[in-house]
Structure 1
Amino acid sequence: MAVTKRFTVGATVAAAATAAAMVAGLTGCGSGDDAARTPGASGPKKVAGPQNAVRLIGDGSTAFTGAQPGLLKPQRLKPGERPPQFVVFSWDGAGEDSQKLFSHFRKVGKKYGATMTYFLSGVYLLPEDKADLYDPPGHAPGRSDIGFNDREGIRDTVRELRGAWQEGNEVGTHFNGHFCGPETGVGTWSVEDWKSEIAQAKAFVKNWKTNAGLKGEQPLPFDYDKELIGARTPCLEGRDNFVRAASELGWRYDTSGINDQIWPEKERGLWDLGLQMIPVPGRQFETLSMDYNFMVNQSGTTKGASSMHDYWGNQFRDGMVQAFDRAYNGNRAPLIIGNHFESWNGGTYMRAVEETIAHVCVKKEVRCVSFRQLADWLDAQDPAVLAKLRTLKVGQAPQVGWAEFLAAKPARPAASPVKQAERH
């Protein structure tokens, strides 16, 4: 994979000492046929959107083009029906650079019938010479820990975002400057700080033509005020106040938490679809379902020994597959996987993700979908059924079988204890 890049995607990673690596290993960083179906999946067909006239929004950076094509129509489970196995692959700081990983994984998704969520960093649509338009909370205007972009990079990123959405993928946000750390990171932000950051992320998407001087380019085919319903915070920090802000803004999910592989529930009106603890094959602990966390626990640096690259990639792939198997054969809880477009340790983690997609997304009753589609399905279900599904532990299939377990409308179980907040 190419290593020359126009901007830095994902977290800024330094070689870590062993103790720091173990801590960081738990925090993370965090054009298809519209009628195609997920290979091997049972369930509804994807529905093509209507051919409506394009209605430009603002300066024409975005546009209303009708309902998004390629989405699965959510259906409520029938009594006694086994839930499908959902898998969500998502990408932090999505942008197209010289590695061309955004365009590559769009092709992978089409090949294996998978739609995904791309969390765009807003500054990737802001050129370096307009950096002062960004006024980050707690920092000087024009400051960003992941830099900005150039006009060629903005043009390429918009092209991929446009195509991804038209194929049924979701465009979320990874916010802007990616500030991490206990003193000046997003963990120190107030609810109003988060609202400012969100407003600016939207503004960069809604005004990229003006800011980059690319008036002749085609618009993004969606209204970002309506498209944007969820996010993952930088380094999984600042979640409490972000969730409060997102709830007040009417968003639908957050994926910044740390969860086990059990069925999700809502927090402040948002689906808690956080990353999950999954096996690290050959080790006696689990870590978060993300490339960054495996990398930190393996090499502690993005440039570890080349002799270990294949092993580390296989370990990441096998950890994801083991997590999938215990859900698929167990409680059928959605599997949440997060990654970055990166070339760490020779690109071994990108290979692992692609091989995992190829392995799991073609199986019967599996739906590899975006967070939006998962939230749509969860909202369509009987809350009492979801409550009963949440009584199943990690990897636990119903002892009586699915047909009897979900045969009739279940009684609502006693309220579960409030989850204890964790800081890793």
Structure 2
Amino acid sequence: MPRSFRVLAFSLAWVGSVATALADPPKPVAAKPKQIVLISFDSAREISQWERSRALAKRTGAHFTYFLSCVFLLSPQTRAEYVAPGKGAGKAKIGFAASGQEVADRLQQIRLAAAEGHDIGSHACGHFDGKGWSKADWLAEFSAFRRILENAYAINGISPEPRGWRDFARDAVIGFRAPYLSTDKALYEALPEAGFQYDASGVSNGPALPPTKNGTTRFALPQIPEGPKSKRVVAMDYNLYVRHSGGFERPSMAGAFADRAYRAFRAAFDAQYNGKRLPLELGFHFTQMNMGAYWNALERFADEVCVMQQVECISFRDYVARQRSDEKRVAVGG
């Protein structure tokens, strides 16, 4: 090669190497946060479903939230302890516990669940629609819940009362979900005054980060695509029950309904896991709708996703604690 060409080639190579050296280094790609899944149960009545859900949690490492209706801590003999706003003593939309022994068994399940790291929340007491209630009505309902929970052993003559029970009843319940997801302005005025840190009564178009307003973190059950036409439905078993069978039992279709529910849960999860990783909320009741189709779908779903390395199935309480801890660190520059 002639000398002039060798010099030109060297010069071009030198310029290229300098340009490479002076270029900005590649920016590190931020690691995705873990996918959060929030699974909750309303009313928390049947003892067998307490046991079944706790077994599911143990094998998957999940922590759940149980929204308890306080009337299930009252027997037929003690039901008059509850007086709903505008109602007579001993009235409830969902009945009461069948016996004092059932109350004792339920209290044991609550204690076991709490000891295992689960979140016990309030679902009020009598399962009345409170959308027309005043702030004073809501505060009265919250007061009834806390009084009945705190005094459940004494009210029902169950002894001995476990050590620390009253401290737990006073301090551990920091979340609420309204019956029928029915809310009004007065509710959100009453929640912080009653000591609640979060509310899970909302419904959103899809998974979303929960905002905190006036000291209350507001969660919302998302509407998710479901079924052959991917029509959106609130991600709760009762809404699926109405969608699938009009709110009536269809035992012959239980398997198909379970599969549809599972596919809806999994598709909603996959969309977030492969996307923005917004928290995914799923809501259930202890009732076995359509022969347990939705619990079967839940177990299939949780067995698959809650054990994944990049997934955490946690309670609302744990989510709020993390959120507020992060906010505190940011505030102090940590």
Q: TM-score range by the shorter chain?
A: 0.7 to 0.9
Match of 2:38 in 1: 88
Q: What does the per-residue CA deviation read over 1:286-341, in whole Å, with 9 as the maximum and x for residues that have no partner?
A: 1111000000011012412x221111111111111111111111111111111001
Contact 2:176–2:196 (CA under 8 A) maintained in structure 1: no
Q: How does 1:57-72 map to 2 (within 5 A)?
A: none
For 2:175, the aligned partner's letter is G
Partner residue of 1:355 out of 296, 300, 306: 300
Partner residue of 1:268 out of 214, 229, 242: 214
- Residue 226 of structure 1 deviates from its aligned partner by 1.4
Partner residue of 2:235 out of 289, 292, 305: 289
Q: CA RMSD in A?
A: 2.0
Match of 1:344 in 2: 289
Distance 2:74 2:86 in 1: 20
Contact 2:224–2:232 (CA under 8 A) maintained in structure 1: yes
Are residues 373 and 145 of structure 1, via their aligned partners in 2, closer, same or farther at CA, if it must alter by over 3 Å? same
Are residues 115 and 82 of structure 1, via their aligned partners in 2, closer, same or farther at CA, if it must alter by over 3 Å? same
Distance 1:332 1:384 in 2: 22
Structure 1: stretches of 5+ with no match in the other structure: 1-78, 180-184, 386-408, 410-424
Partner residue of 1:319 out of 264, 279, 282: 264
Q: What does the per-residue CA deviation read over 1:332-363, in whole Å, with 9 as the maximum and x for residues that have no partner?
A: 11111110011111111111111111011011
Match of 2:255 in 1: 310
Distance 1:205 1:279 in 2: 38
For 1:151, the aligned partner's letter is G
Match of 1:193 in 2: 137
Distance 1:216 1:152 in 2: 14
- Residue 218 of structure 1 deviates from its aligned partner by 3.2
Distance 2:46 2:254 in 1: 24
- Look up the SS of the partner of 2:155 in the other structure: helix
Distance 1:208 1:134 in 2: 12
Matched, 1:234 2:179: yes
Q: Which moved more, 1:263-272 or 1:109-118?
A: 263-272
For 1:203, the aligned partner's letter is R
Contact 1:84–1:365 (CA under 8 A) maintained in structure 2: yes
- Residue 82 of structure 1 deviates from its aligned partner by 2.1
Q: How does 1:104-253 map to 2 (within 5 A)?
A: 104-149=52-97, 150-179=99-128, 185-218=129-162, 221=165, 222-253=167-198
Higher helix share: 2
Contact 1:96–1:156 (CA under 8 A) maintained in structure 2: no
Alignment TM-score, normalising by the size of structure 2 = 0.85
Contact 1:252–1:271 (CA under 8 A) maintained in structure 2: yes
Structure 2: stretches of 5+ with no match in the other structure: 1-28
Distance 2:112 2:59 in 1: 15
- Look up the SS of the partner of 1:159 in the other structure: helix
Contact 1:161–1:220 (CA under 8 A) maintained in structure 2: no
Match of 1:389 in 2: none
Larger radius of gyration: 2
Higher relative contact order (CA 8 A, sep 6+): 1
Matched, 1:279 2:225: yes
Contact 2:132–2:184 (CA under 8 A) maintained in structure 1: no
- Residue 217 of structure 1 deviates from its aligned partner by 5.0
For 1:215, the aligned partner's letter is S
- Residue 267 of structure 1 deviates from its aligned partner by 2.2
Match of 2:7 in 1: none
- Look up the SS of the partner of 2:40 in the other structure: strand
Aligned residue pair count: 300
- Look up the SS of the partner of 1:143 in the other structure: coil
For 1:156, the aligned partner's letter is D
Match of 1:395 in 2: none
Distance 2:211 2:242 in 1: 29
Contact 2:142–2:194 (CA under 8 A) maintained in structure 1: no
Match of 1:14 in 2: none
Distance 2:32 2:58 in 1: 26
Identity of paired residues, percent?
A: 32
For 2:273, the aligned partner's letter is Y
Q: Which moved more, 1:326-335 or 1:375-384?
A: 375-384
- Look up the SS of the partner of 1:381 in the other structure: helix
